[in-house]
Amino acid sequence: MKVNVVTGGGSGIGKAVAAMLPKDGPVIIAGRTPQKLERTALELNAEGCRILTAVCDVSKREDVRALALYASSLGDVDRVIHCAGVSGSMADRETIIRINALGTLHVNQEFFKVMRGGCIVDIASDSGYMLPRILLLRRSAYRLALADEDAFAAKAARKARLVGKDRIDCQIAYMISKDFARRYSERCAFKYMALKGIRVFSVSPGFVKTPMTELEKSKESENMLSYTGHRRGADPEELAYVITALADERARYLIGSDILCDGGAVNNGFGALTARKRCKERSLTENW
Ligand SMILES: NC(=O)c1ccc[n+]([C@@H]2O[C@H](COP(=O)([O-])OP(=O)(O)OC[C@H]3O[C@@H](n4cnc5c(N)ncnc54)[C@H](OP(=O)(O)O)[C@@H]3O)[C@@H](O)[C@H]2O)c1
């Protein structure tokens, strides 16, 4: 039996993905809040889905390992859609790095161990494209993440503090974490395909109307919408369609790429504008 897993499946993009995945096997939705997961499972099962729930904090490797073992005990893990994440308004800098960056590392590594083919889709963000060049993590940062997760989290969180003050530093931590997720996903792709035939790629959404963006409404997000072709944010289902279509076996030639699904905002110049603005706030010298 084929088993699908959606981290962050209790709400937003993850919930829309769980509803849209093929119904030929169970879909495990995972997150930190049991009540949210149960509510979503009840709703989607009433619509004909086969949803199971698992409590899991992706920032904790042991939780992700248990999730991967649970999923593989039910059958062949076929698709892992890693949507769990927090925004810059939802946590402090280090927690953002631990959930979004190290969470991606945990999900990819632990599911790699139990999968025999299939695909892993990591949800990054258009914010990763807006990171000022000077804040991009160097190669040594990826080595550090693999060797010492605590040291990596502390260092990446310090880096975010270099540019921003107050709550801006958390927005920068979000950008750093999502840039990491996208690049880490790319790094996994070639190795995972060569060793086990597992496809890995990432999707970077722009502004999507979910519980997360309810908290993020700001002048900047409104400004961003004016850079999209549609002049509006996406519905979660619009992202879920892209994700589930590309996770389909028929899209098997796609690996190691990031799919930027942001209504065209970044290519219309929004990222460059944001990066210039951030860089003006302070000049930077720190090296990794
Ligand atoms: N909405 C957007 O505009 C947008 C844009 C770009 C990228 N994204 C990315 O898309 C993904 C989905 O976001 P969304 O907009 O659908 O937001 P959402 O509705 O808040 O969904 C995020 C889900 O992740 C779960 N989660 C958070 N921290 C977790 C953790 N440590 N371990 C396990 N689960 C965790 C949350 O549930 P619990 O709190 O119960 O754990 C929640 O159900 C995120 O990675 C986000 O960064 C969203």
Handedness of CA 50, 11, 205, 286 (dihedral sign): negative
Say if 173 falls within a structural domain. yes
List C-alpha distances in Å: 236 to 25, 84, 196: 22, 14, 31
Average pLDDT of the residues of the chain: 92
CA-CA distance, 105 to 180, in Å (whole number)? 9
For residue 276, what pLDDT is reported? 55
**Residue 117 backbone class (left: φ over 0; alpha: ψ -120 to 50; beta: rest):** left
Q: Using the atom order of ligand 1, give the atom closest to the CA of residue 59.
A: 31
Provide the CATH number for the domain around residue 224: 3.40.50.720
How far away, in angstroms, is 133 Cα from ligand 1 center?
A: 25
Say if 288 falls within a structural domain. no
Tell me the mean pLDDT in the region 268-278: 68
Strand, helix or coil for residue 27: strand
14 backbone dihedrals φ, ψ, rounded to 5°:
-60, -40
Q: Which residue has the higher pLDDT, 259 or 160?
A: 259
Say if 286 falls within a structural domain. no
Q: Please check the confidence at residue 196 and state whether its pLDDT lies above 80.
A: yes
How far away, in angstroms, is 125 Cα from ligand 1 center?
A: 11
Q: Using the atom order of ligand 1, give the atom closest to the CA of residue 233.
A: 3
For residue 273, what pLDDT is reported? 56
Q: Which residue has the higher pLDDT, 166 or 62?
A: 62
Angle between helices 168-196 and 270-281 (to 10 degrees): 130
Say if 11 falls within a structural domain. yes
| Mutation choice for ligand 1 from 83, 100, 170, 203, CB with most ligand atoms inside 8 A | 83
| Structural domain span for residue 65 | 2-281
| Mutation choice for ligand 1 from 13, 62, 228, CB with most ligand atoms inside 8 A | 13
Say if 246 falls within a structural domain. yes
Residue nearest to atom 34 of ligand 1 (CA): 31
Q: Using the atom order of ligand 1, give the atom closest to the CA of residue 209.
A: 1
The listed range with the strongest mean pLDDT (65-79, 209-223, 268-282) is 65-79
Q: What is the pTM of this model?
A: 0.94
Say if 108 falls within a structural domain. yes
Spatial CA neighbour of 12 closest among 245, 214, 219:
214
Say if 29 falls within a structural domain. yes
Say if 9 falls within a structural domain. yes
Look at the chain and report how many structural domains it folds into: 1
